[in-house]
């Protein structure tokens, strides 16, 4: 159920090939990408209508296609959701509302060429035709300052050891946890409510006990976050925060 989600400028080396797959009555472009760091097959529907399947180390193109074909009903559902979603403006301007700490806040003009939103104020240099780059840069910096200390606090509370924390700009994951104890967080968590942010943190921390999405793993999650399903519902309702939507992995978890 989680999209297994400081800045890093590089991603793991990948190799890809392009094919097509039949989903319902439509031929869908299929991008098959090898990722030696992936632990399982992972399927996503991108915003441009392309199905992307990640092939883990030791995986094959044949197995990847079979995985996609088995999950074609899920892909069809994602297409339907994509079509029902209202189009969102790609540029941010004064007067628009954005999500910040789980609340819809309005971008407002301030004095001396500055803007404000949700109690935050920042100066704008250059064109104001699109405020999104400046605001997102400010949010990323805030996330880098605020997210790691809270994760460390929760790790200490549950007597878990972290080796490294990164805050990254991921398009399809809220967070991820490696077998070496590195937890990567999506900077967009700064836009979610505190209870959702903490759920993501706890979810990834529980992977330090169970590096899978087994029933035992979910019991661990429930033991530290009894109301985690409420956070899951919020994430589902606000899946548009991540550009590529949610994903399905090889053990059927979404």
pLDDT of residue 210: 92
Answer for the pair 162, 151: CB distance below 8 angstroms, yes or no. yes
Query: Helix crossing, 132-157 with 194-206: angle to 10°?
Result: 50
Q: How far is CA 150 from CA 52, 156, 197, 203, in A?
A: 33, 10, 9, 14
Q: Is the pLDDT of residue 18 over 90?
A: no
Q: Is the pLDDT of residue 13 over 50?
A: no
Closest CA to 155 of 182, 135, 129, 136: 182
pLDDT of residue 89: 59
- Residue with the bigger pLDDT between 115 and 49: it is 115
Q: How far is CA 238 from CA 25, 120, 147, 231, 241, in A?
A: 28, 22, 20, 11, 6
Check the CA dihedral 226-228-231-236 and report its sign. Answer: negative
| CA pair distance 203, 151, nearest whole angstrom | 11
What structural domains does the chain harbor?
Answer: 15-84 (no CATH), 97-249 (3.30.2010.10)
Closest CA to 69 of 4, 3, 14, 19: 19
> Using one digit for the tens of pLDDT, what is the confidence trace for 215-240?
999 999 999 999 999 999 898 888 77
Alpha helices per DSSP H over 20-131 = 61-70, 72-84
Among 6-20, 113-127, 166-180, the range scoring the smallest mean pLDDT is 6-20
> Using one digit for the tens of pLDDT, what is the confidence trace for 97-150?
999 999 999 999 988 889 999 999 999 876 677 899 999 999 999 999 999 999
| CA pair distance 44, 39, nearest whole angstrom | 15
How large is the average pLDDT for residues 198-212?
Answer: 95
- With 0-12 / 13-18 / 19 or more C-beta atoms within 10 angstroms meaning exposed / middle / buried, residue 225 is buried
């Amino acid at each position: 159920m989680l999209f297994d989600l400081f800045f890093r400028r590089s991603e793991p080396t990948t190799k890809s090939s392009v094919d097509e797959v039949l989903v319902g009555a439509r031929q869908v472009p299929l991008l098959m990408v090898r990722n030696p760091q992936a632990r399982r097959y992972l399927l996503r529907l991108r915003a441009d209508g392309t199905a992307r399947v990640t092939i883990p180390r030791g995986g094959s193109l044949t197995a990847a296609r079979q995985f996609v074909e088995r999950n074609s009903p899920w892909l069809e559902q994602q297409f339907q959701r994509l079509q029902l979603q209202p189009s969102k403006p790609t540029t941010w301007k004064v007067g628009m509302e954005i999500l910040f700490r789980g609340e819809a806040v309005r971008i407002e003009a301030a004095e001396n060429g500055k803007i404000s939103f949700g109690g935050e104020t920042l100066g704008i240099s250059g064109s104001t035709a699109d405020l999104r780059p400046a605001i997102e840069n400010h949010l990323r910096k805030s996330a880098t300052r605020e997210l790691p200390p809270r994760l460390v606090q929760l790790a200490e509370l549950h007597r878990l050891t972290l080796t490294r924390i990164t805050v990254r700009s991921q398009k399809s994951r809220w967070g991820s946890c490696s077998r070496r104890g590195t937890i990567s967080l999506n900077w967009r968590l700064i836009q979610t409510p505190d209870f959702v942010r903490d759920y993501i943190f706890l979810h990834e921390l529980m992977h330090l006990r169970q590096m899978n999405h087994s029933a035992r793993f979910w019991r661990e999650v429930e033991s530290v976050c009894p109301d985690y399903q409420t956070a899951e519902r919020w994430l589902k309702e606000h899946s548009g925060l991540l550009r590529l939507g949610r994903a399905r992995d090889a053990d059927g978890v979404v």
